[in-house]
């Protein structure tokens, strides 16, 4: 059976996708959303890239925090104080603090290798 890795991004709609100014030469590996620095646009670009690479082995979720913070996210924030956007891989905080294709790819590959 093929493992499925769930990547969840949690943040506010006005949260930038990362701490650095956005342009096409950034190391995030995503050009389709540049130069928006918009969390939702970056999420769409990340989803397209990861689905293209990993197919059904990856599920991506976007959890907007604008209308309230889900209790499970609130608990993570209280315990870990992760940077925004919060990146979760299979429910565990990955301290990336930005949407980055190379870093997400590495995390997904680690999980898939560990579960194979």
The domain in which residue 11 lies consists of: 5-115
pTM: 0.91
E strand spans, 2-107: 5-11, 58-64, 86-89, 92-93
Task: Provide the number of structural domains found in the chain.
Answer: 1
- Say what angle helices 101-115 and 39-54 make with each other, to 10 degrees: 40
Q: Can you tell me the mean pLDDT for 11-20?
A: 88
CATH number, residue 56: 3.40.30.30
**pLDDT tens, position by position, 78-105:** 999 998 999 999 999 998 889 999 999 9
| Edge-to-edge order in the sheet of strand 58-64 | 58-64, 5-11, 86-89, 92-93
Token pair 């609130």 is found at 74
Assign 24 a pLDDT band (cuts: 50, 70, 90): low
């Amino acid at each position: 059976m093929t493992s499925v890795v769930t990547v969840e991004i949690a943040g506010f709609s006005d949260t930038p996708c990362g701490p650095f100014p956005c342009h096409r030469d950034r190391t995030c590996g995503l050009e389709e959303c540049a130069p928006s620095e918009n969390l939702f646009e970056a999420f769409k670009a990340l989803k397209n890239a990861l689905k293209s690479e990993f197919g059904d082995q990856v599920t991506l979720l976007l959890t907007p925090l604008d209308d309230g913070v889900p209790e499970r996210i609130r608990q993570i924030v209280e315990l870990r104080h992760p940077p925004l956007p919060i990146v979760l891989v299979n429910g565990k905080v990955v301290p990336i603090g930005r949407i980055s294709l190379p870093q997400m790819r590495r995390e997904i590959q680690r999980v898939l290798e560990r579960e194979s």
